[in-house]
Structure 1
Amino acid sequence: MFVHRRDVQIQWGDCDPANIVYYPRYFEMFDDSTSIMFEAAGFSKQDIVRKYGLVGIPMVDTRAKFYIPSTHGDWITIESRVESFKRSSFEVTHKVYKGERLAIEAFETRVLVGHDPADPARLKSAPVPEEIVEKFLKG
């Protein structure tokens, strides 16, 4: 299974007045981590959209469990992986570590979306290309 890791230093602007990362900032980091993971696997989101005639790959569900807070200057490691694929969607998990300790577990569901061939003004889910499934599940 393809796994991507990246180190991120917490910046002043990530934190609230108590110097703890304001939780929506993590979701921005997770969104970036998904894009970076796809690029590292050889599939930039822009290329996927263009190659397969998609409109985008929106997030339709997200949630997180927070265990350990982070503050300005901390270094965290975000480990991202695609856990499963369905016809037009996929599940991503992000695990955030502070050193060896698990700080956050986050989950997102994304769907590939294109124009509906029957009505181009409408959007419709699109199948996940097999080459993407193979790369992520086989590494």
Structure 2
Amino acid sequence: MAKTSVFEVQVQFGDCDPAGIVFFPNFLRWMDAASLHFFMGCGLPPWRELEKTRGLVGTPLLEIHTRFVQSATYGERLQVHTGIDEWRGRVFVHRHRVLRGDTLICEGTETRTFVMRDAEGRLKSVALPDDLRALCD
């Protein structure tokens, strides 16, 4: 991963199950937020602005893989380190590493694509324009 961003999360009591362990879907929610944080940090405008100026609606999720290594609980501060592992035409792979300090808690990859609306309003997959991709490399 050439360029990375760090998205901080303060784990709340409501993020945890009755045993006090972070409920696994919250990691996916934080990775999703870290994905947007990555693009904003690279200099891409918010999705609403990109839709108005370039027709790009966002980056829907196509596939996700997650591996849990350690548990986390409320009161802890986690860092989601995010970058792009691979560009494949219209598809890219985001890698996320969730850390508590130097301890790996969870890691995952998301396969995503950029989309635009066609003439009928349906979403269609497109490659990220070169000038915007250059901001992310």
| TM-score above 0.5, yes or no | yes
What amino acid does structure 2 have at the position aligned with 1:21?
V
Deviation of 1:82 after TM superposition, in Å, equals 1.2
Q: CA 1:88 to 1:27, structure 2 compared with 1: closer, same or farther past 3 Å? A: same
Unmatched tracts of structure 2, length 5 or more:
none
Contact between 2:16 and 2:22, CA under 8 Å: does it hold in 1? yes
Q: Which moved more, 1:126-135 or 1:72-81?
A: 126-135
Helix, strand or coil at the partner of 2:122? strand
59, 62, 71: which one aligns with 1:60 = 62
What amino acid does structure 2 have at the position aligned with 1:35?
L
93, 99, 118: which one aligns with 1:91 = 93
| Structure 1: 4+ residue segments shifted above 4 A | none
Identity of aligned residues (%): 29
Q: Which moved more, 1:81-90 or 1:24-33?
A: 81-90
What amino acid does structure 2 have at the position aligned with 1:131?
D
After superposition, what is the alpha-carbon deviation per residue over 1:6-46, rounded to whole angstroms, capped at 9, x for unaligned? 22110011000010000001111111111111111111233
- Tell me the distance in 1 between the aligned counterparts of 2:51 and 2:109: 22
State TM-score, norm by structure 1. Answer: 0.88
- How many residues align structurally? 135
Contact between 1:2 and 1:135, CA under 8 Å: does it hold in 2? no
- Tell me the distance in 2 between the aligned counterparts of 1:135 and 1:30: 20
Deviation of 1:110 after TM superposition, in Å, equals 0.9
Deviation of 1:130 after TM superposition, in Å, equals 0.7
Contact between 2:47 and 2:57, CA under 8 Å: does it hold in 1? no
Residue 13 in 1 paired to residue 14 in 2? yes
Q: Provide the residue aligned with 1:132 in structure 2.
A: 132
- Tell me the distance in 1 between the aligned counterparts of 2:101 and 2:57: 38
Q: Provide the residue aligned with 1:105 in structure 2.
A: 107
Deviation of 1:123 after TM superposition, in Å, equals 2.9
- Tell me the distance in 2 between the aligned counterparts of 1:27 and 1:33: 10
State TM-score, norm by structure 2. Answer: 0.90
- Tell me the distance in 1 between the aligned counterparts of 2:84 and 2:50: 16
What amino acid does structure 2 have at the position aligned with 1:49?
E
Deviation of 1:106 after TM superposition, in Å, equals 0.9
- Tell me the distance in 1 between the aligned counterparts of 2:130 and 2:85: 15
